[in-house]
Structure 1
Amino acid sequence: MKAIPHQHSFRFHNLGIGDIQLGKKPEQIPGMLPFPSYTGKNNFLVYPDAAHYHAFNGTARGTIEKDDPGIDLQHLFTGINDNGFINRIFLYPQEANEQLAWRLSQLYGEPFIGKGQSGVQNTWITESETEVTLFSPSDHKTVNTVISFRFFYDFPALKEYIIEGRT
């Protein structure tokens, strides 16, 4: 009989989820491994390169409040800067729906909403000067829905740290 994998539950906050936080070193976080060792690495293109990323190796769920059923995550990645500190967090929910932005608004307040041809972007700026973004593609494909975290003034994290799903 196959053992059921342990699910890690992480609470959303201004710097990320649980111990996975902006400004921390991924080596200090149990379950994080270098991206080249991640079994799902071939499903993604990462920029600037794979050496700048880590992936969570396990089953993860993000919770918003104490009694929240949580958001099951299919992928959890961190980008690291040249000093080895997390400067970007990417969360890929297993299921995305119209309630996701509402649920995040329960914690972060009213978002700035941008609509484009490729999808809708909800953005929250926290008191910690962190930008939390939820991108929901217009084609409603869950695989392309992503929640990301970065420090608001960290423009290299915004412009240089990019993950693309391969189709």
Structure 2
Amino acid sequence: MKASSQQHNFRFHNLGIGDIQLGRKPEQIPALVPFQRYSRKNSFIVSPNPSLYQFFNGDVKVMIENDDPGLALQHLFTSINEYGFINRIFLYTRKTNERLAGRLSQLYGEPKMRKAGHGTQNVWVTESETEITLFSPLFDPDINQVISFRFFHDLPALKEYIIEGRT
């Protein structure tokens, strides 16, 4: 499926970005399309089932503040739980931004930091009990930075809902 040419600008908040929020139904967001229709679906491994995922059909920039130039996304995916509500949001940046963790800290506070595979993770837990995780690769410029959102107490979303690029 070809992405629409319209540019969408969303701001970060505690439940996601713009209208794409944890706890919403994907049908409420017209640009979310079933993952099976994504032209690059074979570039990703998804769990537990591809039918539980959607992709955003359009160009997206995310901002922390109104005057922010924005961060271009290469991919935006959501997943749904057994009740049909968005339980994970995955934002793949178009290019690595070394200052992104600091910028997100301005919005979400001080993160916990840990090493993760070939990179580092910064993790924020908001007052609304949302967990935001930023994965930043250490040495491989071909690996995207990924920002993900989930409700902190939703352990199935953490352990079972995974999307990653094929290598």
Q: TM-score, normalised by structure 1?
A: 0.94
The corresponding residue for 1:19 is: 19
Would you say the 8 A contact 1:73–1:91 is kept in 2? yes
Distance 1:143 1:119, change over 3 A: closer
The corresponding residue for 2:9 is: 9
The corresponding residue for 1:128 is: 128
Shifted more, 71-80 versus 137-146: the winner is 137-146
Partner Cα separation in structure 2 for residue 50 and residue 18 of structure 1: 24
Share of identical aligned residues, percent? 65
Q: Superposition pairs for residues 98-113 of structure 1, below 5 Å?
A: 98-113=98-113
Q: Superposition pairs for residues 134-145 of structure 1, below 5 Å?
A: 134-141=134-141, 143-145=143-145
The corresponding residue for 2:146 is: 146
Would you say the 8 A contact 2:94–2:144 is kept in 1? no
Distance 1:142 1:111, change over 3 A: farther
How big is the shift at 1:139?
2.2
How big is the shift at 1:97?
2.3
Secondary structure class of the residue paired with 1:144 = coil
Would you say the 8 A contact 2:119–2:138 is kept in 1? yes
How big is the shift at 1:143?
3.4
Q: Superposition pairs for residues 1-167 of structure 1, below 5 Å?
A: 5-141=5-141, 143-167=143-167
Q: Structure 2, unaligned stretches of length 5 or more? A: none
Query: How many residues are aligned here?
Result: 164
How big is the shift at 1:8?
0.2
Q: Structure 1, unaligned stretches of length 5 or more? A: none
Secondary structure class of the residue paired with 2:107 = helix
Would you say the 8 A contact 1:7–1:60 is kept in 2? yes
How big is the shift at 1:131?
0.2
How big is the shift at 1:116?
4.0
Shifted more, 99-108 versus 133-142: the winner is 133-142
Q: TM-score, normalised by structure 2?
A: 0.94
Computed over aligned residues only, the root mean square deviation of the Cα atoms, in angstroms, reads: 1.3
Secondary structure class of the residue paired with 2:143 = helix
